[in-house]
Amino acid sequence: MPAPNRADLIEAGYNLVEKQCPSLWIEDRILVTGEIPRTNDFEKGFPNHYSEIDGKMENDPLIKGDQAIVLNIKDIGLVVITGCAHAGIINIIKYAKELSGEDRIYGAIGGMHLTGGVFEPLISRTIDELEQLKPRFIIPCHCSGLKAVTEIPKNMPNAFIQNSVGTSYIF
């Protein structure tokens, strides 16, 4: 089936909200980052990604629609939840810190987009940066890739949690 378009979603009763900037949701308890800036020198997007822009396909390595959810857990720090982390897990965590003003990272959960020939060379640098950020928990999911899921616990054994379908996390 084709993906629903804007008109179909509106007709079905959905209220679509599009923002590039950060926004607060659910009584200002959940921060949605909006578009995440690429500020480091190694997480630069997906070189083989293209988007349809003004009716033609153009190279679009940044996948600007990437965003994350950030929870600030009282007296503990931030929990950062990613989708595929196309902006890079380090860019995302640092942006979450900047937006929230909170320096402590309690957990990072989600895809880290470190699989495949383009991204596997970034695993070592990503782990080095994660170690400096000192998250209490690292929970890599789907697109993190087997190599990253193998290397993270070697370097951060006390922070790594193996994720599986149906797991619940309570903070």
Residues 95-154 pLDDT 10s: 999 999 999 999 999 999 999 999 999 999 999 999 999 999 999 998 999 999 999 999
In the CATH scheme, what is the homologous superfamily, with its name and number, of domain 22-155? Answer: Ribonuclease Z/Hydroxyacylglutathione hydrolase-like (3.60.15.10)
The burial of 107, by beta-carbon neighbours within 10 Å (0-12 exposed, 13-18 middle, 19 or more buried), is given as buried
Question: Any residues with CB less than 8 A from the CB of 62 and at least 6 apart, and which?
Answer: 38, 45, 86, 87
Q: What does each C-alpha distance from 145 to 52, 139, 148 come to in angstroms? A: 28, 12, 6
Instruction: State the pTM of this model.
Output: 0.89
Query: How far is the C-alpha of 140 from the C-alpha of 71, rounded, in Å?
Result: 17
Question: Any residues with CB less than 8 A from the CB of 13 and at least 6 apart, and which?
Answer: none
Residue 137, pLDDT score? 97
Average pLDDT over residues 84-90: 94
Kindly list the strands in the beta sheet with 68-73, ordered across the sheet, starting from the edge strand earlier in the chain: 23-25, 30-32, 68-73, 77-82, 105-110, 137-140
Q: Token digits for 20?
A: 């590039």
Q: Can you tell me whether residue 79 is helix, strand or coil?
A: strand
Tell me the per-residue pLDDT of 31-50, one tens digit each, with 9 for 90 and over. 999 999 999 999 988 888 88
